[in-house]
Structure 1
Amino acid sequence: MVTAGVRRLGYGALICLPPVLIALDVGASTFPGGTTIPWHPVMVDLDVYRLAGQVLLDGGNFYQLPGPLQFLYPPFAALLAVPLAVLPLALVQVAWTVAGALMIVAVLHRWGQTGWRLSLWSAAVAYAVLPVSQTFAFGQLGILLVALVALDLAPGPRVLPGKRLLPEGVLTGVAAALKLTPMIFVLYLLAVRRWRAALTATISAGACTVLAAVILPGASLDFWGRLAHGDTGLGGSLIYYTNQSVYADFARVFRLAPLGTALGLAACAVVVVLGVWAAAVWHRAGEVRFAVALCGVASLLASPVSWLHHFVWIVPLAFSLVELTRQRMTKSPMSGPTSSIREASSMSRAKPVLPTWLIVLGWLFVGWVVVSPYRRLPNGGDLELQWTAGQHLLAAVTAILGIALLIAAIVVGRQIRPDQAPAAFDK
């Protein structure tokens, strides 16, 4: 007799199979020159991670790699790249892609998707959502960063029923040690007075960073020293058209002049404030998943470098909008006995309703990122510095829509009365 555990495992494998197969095909065949059969993907970013890990093992400087693409992450990320370097290439490529697909499934499950819907939505996201498909094609770690934070901070169904395996904040701290942008979530945790989670995330990030500094003191001093002087390691490539951050918009308009740098950094700081504010407002309203997604969007806009494939946060944002749209549709005025009216009133207090115009704005942002019309602009070879005003405006629509969404979320969230927010929610 098949046990319940085996049946559950088999059912889970069937759910995961379509998105995994789609991810493997997308990851291998999207980049020019790559093929699925025979297996020959061209995962340029994954190759950089592997090369960095190999150079580290050889005792070299992994911040000065041969070739045009450089390793730009903190030293802790280089430590984690070592296993990628020692394992066979095909195994690493397949395992990396499968892991990314499973993370998409896990995030959508946390956002309330189950059964065949979870399987089909995950497969659709892997295939049709440009930042996700590009992440698979490049072998990037963007999905990993989103999954670490989302599964750490967002409430919802868990793959393994019961209490969380790690204290809240640990995975967010690890994500921040891999790449600095998730540190915005520490500010979010402080804003909503989740002191223990904020402290845990900070300690986790600090412990990973100190560990890397002990093992790699020279590289750590090099990385943090350059970063303190504002050197991201990208140089003039910051202006490349797929960099959709607020900073990049200012850098392109002002042609990398100091004034543009100063204005760009100031704008990034403003976006951080708006993102944390919006997330805190909706956290207190009980919509924690929406809050986490908003903060994730802010982390992309506020980072000096956010290539198109970094915008994986639009996936949890989209499913938050689906959830909030469903709530709006189920909260139409009711008629009937007094008890039914009381029940409807109680439901209305339990979950605030998002106005239609804000839902539309959210979908405009998601749709713009997925379609990315600015990809038709002249690009490469510093052509971005020769754009017309209209072309600069087109490239800045991502930031404009994203900032508008954050501001609108603040305005709407602040109008929610205390009695509309639930007293508690599942963590």
Structure 2
Amino acid sequence: MTLRNAPDRLRQLAPAVLLVSAATLLALTTPSQPNLVDFHVYVLGGSALEHPGTLYTFAYSGQSPTQPLPFVYPPFAAILFYPLHFVPFAAIGLLWQVAMIAAMYAIVRITQRMLGGGSQSEAMLWTAGLIWLEPARVSINLGQMGIFLTLAVLYAAYSRRWWVSGLLVGLGAGIKLTPAVSGLYFVGVRRWAAAAFSAIVFFATVALSWLVVGDQVRHYFTTVMGDTSINPIGTAVNQSWRGGISRIMGHDAGEGTLVLIAIVGTAVLAGLAWCALGSGSGARDQLGSLLVVQLFGLLVSPISWVHHWVWVAPLIIWLWRGPWRDQPGARFFGWGWMALTFVSVPSILSMAEPSLWQISRPWYLAWAGLVYLGAATATLAWMVVTGRRLRAR
């Protein structure tokens, strides 16, 4: 095999490469602790429906490395997970992890389509590499639902059917509130029907939940939803402005002045990046615009664990294969995100923490904990500068 036909040979071996990569990842993560700890919470949340009033009082401590973990999701999520507690956990857990890897492949395929095309073999190779990045790898280890929610929102943006788009985002928000930020995308691209229907579907999940669990719905939206005290805000794996500023200040910054300034500044920067991706004579970059909204949501949310940053996967593909792939800086940011997430800087920094609850730390560890925040802010700024340069031509 010559160097010239090496890429063709690699594409032919893509299914085997993906299979080996996925099998290796599962072999390494399955025995590790805390394996599928969050998925345990989901399933137990479903089973709690058989014991009225216990959905937000139980806490899972079987594999939790720091503290018992309560169910902190909307009641609709527990309804969806209810059937799973009838299946042996070892079997459903493995199927859940395999499904997450399959969902990562689907994320890559939809990303390719939003960028104009790409082969299945290339998607397999992308998936084989992307599942080793920190957001995906941690999600697969914990059994988190973020990969599925990312897929749902991505397909919602890709689909031109308003009811499909609204249904997916509304259901996603009903399961976990974070997909609700995608409504900003629908409003920005003037997909009013999709935006309205997503809100209707979300409220429908709330209504259904009320029929099933009654007053637990009120308890969630008035108490559990806004209670950040049950989470270690200052740990390095919380890559939000609140987390980053708290680590620098040495205490929970809450909704203080610095956090509000960071949120407002991020909103302005994201707005400028949005404009940059839709200015000039060309059509709006749909994927790039969606990524702007998701980066904004990750930065301003009180809690953005590293597994919430699955959006880095389509971001890397957009940087390398998108319409701005030949612009100065695109490759730099693509490789930069790949390196940061593969090395898993936040997870490494968290190992230096005596306790997840200890916010104070040496200044160099506190500032190093801004790694995703700094990279996301720099990426948005690059979008603004690149858009202005292209518009000036």
Above 0.5 in TM-score?
Answer: yes
1:403 aligns with 2:377: yes
SS, match of residue 234 in structure 1: coil
The alpha-carbon deviation at position 231 of structure 1 amounts to 1.4
Q: What aligned pairs does 1:16-415 form with structure 2 within 5 A after superposition?
A: 19=18, 22-23=21-22, 25-30=24-29, 33=32, 42-66=35-59, 67=61, 68-112=68-112, 113-126=118-131, 128-154=132-158, 166-226=163-223, 230-232=226-228, 234-235=230-231, 237-257=232-252, 261-268=256-263, 270-272=265-267, 274-275=269-270, 277-279=272-274, 281-283=276-278, 285-324=283-322, 328=326, 355-377=327-349, 378-381=352-355, 384-414=358-388
Change (3 A) 1:383 1:79: closer
Aligned residue pairs total 364
Alignment CA distance shift 1:169-1:274 (3 Å): farther
Once superposed, what is the RMSD of the aligned Cα atoms? 3.0
Q: For residue 255 of structure 1, report the CA deviation from its aligned partner.
A: 3.5
* Greater relative contact order (CA < 8 Å, ≥ 6 in sequence): 2
Contact 1:76–1:212 under 8 Å retained in 2:
yes
Distance 1:288 1:373, change over 3 A: same
Q: Distance in 1 between matches of 2:275 and 2:43?
A: 38
* Alignment check: 8 A CA contact 1:272 1:299 kept: no
Cα distance, 1:316 vs structure 2:
0.4
The separation in 1 between residues aligned to 2:240 and 2:41, in whole angstroms, is 23
Letter in 2 for 1:61: T
Could you say which residue in structure 1 is the equivalent of 2:115? none
Structure 1's 278 and 203: CA in aligned 2 closer, same or farther, altered over 3 A?
farther
- Offset at residue 384 of structure 1 (A): 4.7
Give the TM-score, by structure 2 length.
0.82
User: How far apart are residue 108 of structure 1 and its match?
Assistant: 1.0
Matches of 2:201 and 2:275, distance apart in 1: 22
Q: Which residue of 2 aligns with 1:344?
A: none
Separation in 2, partners of 1:95, 1:164 = 30
Asked whether the equivalents of residues 248 and 264 of structure 1 are also in contact (C-alpha less than 8 Å), the reply is no
Q: Deviations over 1:355-414 (max 9, x none)?
A: 312552354244323323344432142575331222211101221221121133134335
Identity %: 28
* Separation of aligned partners in 2, 1:179 and 1:275: 23
Residue number in structure 1 paired with 2:7: none
1:167–1:243 distance in 2 versus 1, CA, 3 Å = same
Q: CA deviation at 1:140?
A: 0.7
Deviations 1:112-163 (A, max 9, x none): 232321222212222x2121121111111110111000111036xxxxxxx7
For the 8 Å contact 2:184–2:293, the answer to whether it is kept is no
Report Cα offsets for 1:18-72 as digits up to 9, x if no partner.
Answer: 64664454245325547xxxxxx93111111111111122224222223311211
Between the aligned partners of 2:48 and 2:383, the Cα distance in structure 1 is: 46
Alignment gaps of 5+ in structure 2 = 1-12, 62-67, 113-117
TM-score (norm 1): 0.76
Alpha-carbon distance in structure 2 between the residues aligned to 1:180 and 1:195:
20
Bigger shift: 20-29 or 143-152?
Answer: 20-29
* TM-aligned CA deviation for residue 273 of structure 1: 5.1
- The aligned amino acid for 2:197 is T
Q: 1:411 to 1:197 in 2, by over 3 A?
A: farther
Indicate the SS of the match to 1:244: coil
Q: Structure 1 residues 223 and 367 mapped into 2: Cα distance closer, same or farther (>3 Å)?
A: same
The one-letter code sitting in structure 1 at the alignment partner of 2:214 is P
